Chain A
């Protein structure tokens, strides 16, 4: 078999091996790349950054284990941002499955900050700085009910504490005391927040979604109904970039680390296509 034939008939096992190497090696030796921040992510970052002292941020966790690698970095980034700026945070889910993932993200970020803090005011204290509301049945009931009273909907939090005894909940009655909600979802849940919470109560809504579903959400961003949008790994990486450059937060950039893998994977696929076409054209000429 001559060289030209080899170009057009590379064994697929070799292709898989090469792809596996170019994806795995950047993950083993991560080197976050500087990424250009696009307008949708910057808008969301600014919206979180300018939350007033007396207002809270709600983060709605709605992803499952299969999409956790793509969406969790966004959640971690927004939590780090909020806690760095000492913004009060409420965390909740509309379904049961994401609760475990939400707790895991909270535990990680709170653990990071408290490990570095030197005093109580510096620490992130449950009940004072953040509350994990958990889940309530009925999908629309929490979305609409929180417009009137959050503690009426979530009488107890995820850990079983009565919410009306928590310091943060005494200051955060309903959406009037919430400046922004960020929904991290793999389905169209952010659209329901716009339809019910924003239309009825004027709540600002931002979203972090998977790359596959982004097409459904761009119209809402373009119309201004989403105050910012993070899409896929790149969206998460852009938010991490802003955390590093504007707030000096240099934690592990999970999304940023994958960009190298994605870059090399794309380049590998392009190279394979070029090789295949070179062989194809040479063969065609010979004929």
Chain B
């Protein structure tokens, strides 16, 4: 009661220091409005924001709660806008001064992402240095990756037993790196299958991946000189629903009883359902994924698992192409740099607040 009386008599304090400016590092169409909170902020309902093109006819464009001192307003690029802010409490209003005019525009560079660009250029340069350095014929060592070593034996086993090989590329689209890596391995596996005259079953979740995989397998058969042996029905699309796909693959495993299962790509919760069904049929299973939550399941249920970047290294590992091996060496150097920076940054962070660390935010 007393408060209301005082408010009616004295009124509320307006916000001050109103400032409007073009939002930086964006595609335009946004002006940022900032102000200093009213000294009566604690009792206010909120703030109304008004805008005008000529500093005279103002229209309301926004509302924020008390305690908030900025807003982003959608505007037309190249047009001048004037702003004012009103503190409000019930029917009471207190207007700020009018801001200087502001104009929004689009920027060509997002400066907040310069650190990412710099990191990408440095790491990319290191990788490319080793890629092209490998052209000079330098022998590059790559450690043994058990899962990839086993591909030959796994395909051979299936051929001897007269049973098919099942290959699944996971549940993601072609835009995901692990799917591309999986397709690279599919090409190599298809070549071996064609050479040994074995049977390949390759069901797909994504129709675009299916179309690419079909061409890869067909090309693999052509490469080993067996175009007539390619079976159109060996590579096919099933469904793009997660558990329907899992059910279909499980059904294939139980009916066709493949001797070897390749589960290579990006998986979700269905990974264990597929892998454990494969294990129950007695097949040898080689899996590979960069889906971290699914790694424990695949490691448990499969004989060999390619973890994360081992999957990406598969193409280089199998082909032993110097250019591709050079890229792996570049990755290793990159990891060394990141690891060193982490240790240095941690020590610096513990000792002192080093301003340059803000660069990494």
Contact residues of A between 164 and 218, Cβ < 8 Å to B: 174-176, 200-203, 212
Give which listed residue, A12, A175, A212, contacts B65 with CB less than 8 A.
A175
Task: Judge whether A112 is part of the interface by a CB distance below 8 angstroms.
Answer: no
Complexed CA–CA distance, A147 and B68 (Å): 12
**Chain A minimum-CB-distance residue to B60:** A148
A176-B45, A176-B46 known; A202-B280 Cβ under 8 A: no
From residue 276 to 293 of chain B, which have CB atoms closer than 8 A to chain A? 280, 293
With a cutoff of 8 Å between Cβ atoms, the chain A residues found around residue B280 in the complex are 12
What residue of chain A has the Cβ atom nearest to residue B64's Cβ?
A: A200
**Residues of B contacting A176 in the complex (Cβ-Cβ under 8 angstroms):** 45-46, 65-66
Looking at the assembled complex, report how far the CB atom of A58 sits from the nearest CB atom of chain B, in whole angstroms: 15
Give CA–CA (A202, B64) in the complex, Å. 9
Complex Cα–Cα for A176 and B46 (A):
8
Q: Nearest-CB distance from A134 to chain B (Å)?
A: 23
Q: Determine if B129 is an interface residue (Cβ-Cβ < 8 Å).
A: no
Q: How far is the CA of A202 from the CA of B67 in the complex (A)?
A: 8
In the complex, whether B132 has a CB less than 8 A from a CB of chain A is no
Which chain A residues lie closer than 8 Å to B64 at the CB level?
147, 200-201
The residues in B between 26 and 85 inclusive whose CB is less than 8 angstroms from any CB of A are 45-46, 63-68, 71
Q: Which residues does chain A contribute within 8 Å of B65, judged by CB atoms? A: 147, 174-176, 200-203
Interface SS of chain A: helix
As a 0/1 sequence over residues 11 to 22 of chain A, the CB contacts with chain B under 8 angstroms (1 = contact) are 010000000000
Q: Which residue of A lies closest to B279 (CB)?
A: A12
Interfacial chain A residues near B293, Cβ < 8 Å: 212
How many chain-B residues does the 8 Å CB contact rule pick out? 12
How distant is the Cα of A200 from the Cα of B66 in the complex, in angstroms?
10
Which B residues are CB-close (under 8 A) to A175? 65
Bound Cα distance A202, B68 (Å): 8
**Judging by beta carbons under 8 Å apart, are B67 and A147 in contact?**
no
| Shortest CB distance A69–B (Å) | 15
Q: 1/0 per residue B242-273: CB within 8 Å of A?
A: 00000000000000000000000000010000
CB distance from A26 to the nearest CB of B (A): 23
* Docked-complex contact A200 and B46, CB < 8 angstroms: no
CA distance A213 to B67 in the complex (A): 32
* Nearest opposing residue in chain A for B62, CB measure: A148
User: In chain A, what residue has the closest Cβ to B67?
Assistant: A202
Nearest A residue to B280 by beta-carbon distance? A12
How many Å lie between the Cα of A148 and that of B63 in the bound state?
6
Partner of B66, one of A12, A202, A212: A202
Scoring A residues 118 to 153 as 1 if CB is less than 8 Å from chain B, else 0, what string do you get?
Answer: 000000000000000000000000000001100000
CB neighbours of A148 from chain B (8 A): 63
- Is A201 within 8 A of B68, CB to CB? yes
Q: Which residues of B contact A203 (CB under 8 A)?
A: 65
Task: Give the residues in chain A near B46, CB-CB below 8 Å.
Answer: 176
Most buried by B among A12, A147, A203: A147
Which one of B65, B269, B280 has the highest number of Cβ atoms from chain A below 10 Å of its Cβ?
B65
The distance from the CB of B246 to the nearest CB of chain A, in whole angstroms, is 14
Most A-side CB within 10 Å, residue of B64, B66, B269, B293: B64
CA distance A86 to B47 in the complex (A): 30
Residues of B within 8 A of A201 (CB): 64-65, 68
CB distance from B241 to the nearest CB of A (A): 12
In the bound complex, residues from chain A placing their C-beta under 8 Å from that of B67 are 202
* Residues of the A chain whose Cβ atoms lie less than 8 Å from the Cβ of B45: 176
> How many whole Å from A207's CB to the nearest CB in chain B?
20
Task: Provide the bound-state CA to CA distance between A116 and B269, in Å.
Answer: 43
14 example contacts (A-B, Cβ-Cβ < 8 A) are as follows: A147-B63, A147-B64, A147-B65, A174-B63, A174-B65, A176-B65, A200-B65, A200-B68, A201-B65, A202-B65, A202-B67, A202-B68, A203-B65, A212-B269
Q: Which residues of A contact B (CB under 8 A)?
A: 12, 147-148, 174-176, 200-203, 212
Closest 7 CB pairs of A and B: A201-B65, A148-B63, A202-B65, A202-B67, A176-B45, A176-B65, A175-B65
Excluding A176-B45, A176-B65, A201-B64, 8 further A-B contacts by CB distance (< 8 Å) are: A147-B63, A148-B63, A174-B65, A175-B65, A200-B65, A202-B67, A212-B269, A212-B293
